[in-house]
Each structure stands twice: as C-alpha cells, then as structure tokens.
Chains A and B, each alone.
Chain A
Amino acid sequence: MEEHIAVKLNKAIHQKARLGIMSILMASEEAEFNYLKERLKLTDGNLSTHLSLLEKEKYIRIKKKFVKKKPKTLCQMTEKGREAFKEYLENLEKIIRNTP
C-alpha cells in the first residue's frame, strides 16, 4: 500500500533542488534567477537544467527581460505547477500517515 503511494510521487518535483525551486515560487509567486541560485546554493548550469525540466513539464514559466539594460530571468509558477505541488504535498502527507 505505502509502496504504491510512494511511486505516485511526482518525479519532476521530488528531486531536492526542484523541490526547493517550487517551494520558493509557491511563496513568492515570482523569483529572479540569481535569487534562486543564491537561496538554493546551485550553480548557473545546474539551476538552468532544473528550471528547463520544470518548464518542460509546464510547472513554471520563464521570462527574460531587460531591467536597466541588464538581462533578468524571471521564473513564475503556473497554475499547473501549483496543482502539481499541492498534489505532491498531499502524497507526502499520505506516506507519513500510512507508515506505522
């Protein structure tokens, strides 16, 4: 029974770095690339890879814009991402509840 629930955990979110990205976006709605990099202690390349994966799943939206001639990469959580994150949290709770 518990194995079954564990298998249902969303793999795109379950990885620690991606879980961190989703948690921060859940709280701030929108975050800048450098902010995420600093908070999660990730390298540029590493963070880009995780962001691309989340974007591919349509959990986040990535926008690039220029602020005072400097490029900024902004990440936003989508409605689909929000739903997936809530479901992931519910599944974590189920695992905790169902394990004696």
Chain B
Amino acid sequence: MNEDKRQEALENIELIKQLVLQTRKHVGQYGGGWICIIWGVFCFVGVAGQRLLIPHGPLMGVWWIGLAVVAGFATFLVARGYLKTEPIRAQHDYLRYFLRFWIPLMLLGYTLATFIALLPSLSNHYISIVMLLVVSAGYLIIGFMFYRGILYMGAIGYVGSIICAIFFLEYSDIILGIIFGLGLILTGLVINKQWKNT
C-alpha cells in the first residue's frame, strides 16, 4: 500500500518536472530554430548580392535594407504561426523582447554602414564587417543572458569579423557570409531538434 503511494508520488513528481521544463522551453525558444534559419539564409543571400553590388556603393544599403525587410516579414510570419498555441504571456514577451532588442541594434548597424558607404576613404568591404560585428554583439548578449548555445556563435562571429577585417578584408564578406550563414542555419537545426525532443 505504502509502496503504491510512493510510486504514485514519484510518477507525479516526474510529470510535474516534465511539464514545467517543457513549458519553460516553449516560453523561451519556441520558433527560434526557424528564425535562425531565415537569418542564416539572409546572410548567404545578402553577401552574394553585396558581392555583385560592391561597385555601386549606395545600392548596397538599399539591398541590405530590402533584404532585412523580407527576412523580418518572414520572421513575423513564422512567429505568428507558432505563437497561435503559445501561452499568451509568452507571446507578448517573445515579440516584445525580439523587437526591443534587435531594432536598436540593427539601427546602429545600418547607421554605421551608411557612414562607411558615404565615406570615400573607407572600403565598402567594411560594411559587412560592421554589420556582422553588431549582429555578433547581439548574439553575445543573448548568449550571456538567456541561451548559452548562441554564445559560441557570437564569439566566433565577433573574433572572425575582426580577423577578416585585418587579414582578409577583400574576401571578408564571403568568409563571414559563410560562417554566419552556416552557423545560423546549424544553430536553427539544433534548436529545432532540441525542440522536437522535448
């Protein structure tokens, strides 16, 4: 009799543990995998386009802004689709944090990129370096505060950007596009896999 009670108590504790863990994961990471994949593709396509547009300076700004709008819209669609079944509090938190965090950072990136494009003394190659430094800083902040997995991505991106700026400036966009694009897509796939296993 007592053994039955004990067994039932253990089962209940296990059920509570699983539900609490899964719910916390939902609140923290829901849809994050696909969003990483979208921005990974954004890096690849962005760099490829930039490569073609480098001789046309200001057009590069239009290209990156246009692409960011498309990627942002895709992110919104993914988030909206996933959030339909999310706890309401998580919906609010997720969208609010996403916008509050990335919009000022992207604004900083675009402002710096515009200055570089307008300054004839600076190579347009620095645009991708600056953009990726800003994005890496974002990952580092997220990594330190919320999700460790993305910390490595931020550290690799940051150090990689600086190394490219010093040693491989001319090819930096290709190198960084591949590192970031692949890194983001892989991170997205890992998050999706973790999500399915919860």
Contacts and interface: CB of A to CB of B under 8 A. Distances in A.
Contacts of A100: 2
Given A23-B15, A26-B20, A27-B27, A38 B6 contact: no
A42 interface: no
Nearest to B5: A6
A19 B16 contact: yes
Is chain B's interface secondary structure helix, strand, loop, or mixed overall?
A: helix
Contacts of B87: 24, 28-32, 35
A93 B86 CA distance: 31
Contacts of A32: 85-88
Bin chain B's interface residue count.
20 to 34
Contact of A20 (B5, B10, B15, B24): B15
B5 A99 contact: yes
B85 A23 contact: no
B24 A27 contact: yes
Contacts of A24: 19-20, 23, 87
Interface string A26-46: 111111101100110000000
Nearest to B25: A27
A96 B23 contact: no
A69 interface: no
A24 B23 CA distance: 6
B195 to A, nearest CB: 14
A12 interface: no
A16 B16 contact: no
B85 A35 contact: yes
The 4 closest A-B pairs by CB, nearest first: A27-B23, A99-B6, A23-B19, A28-B87
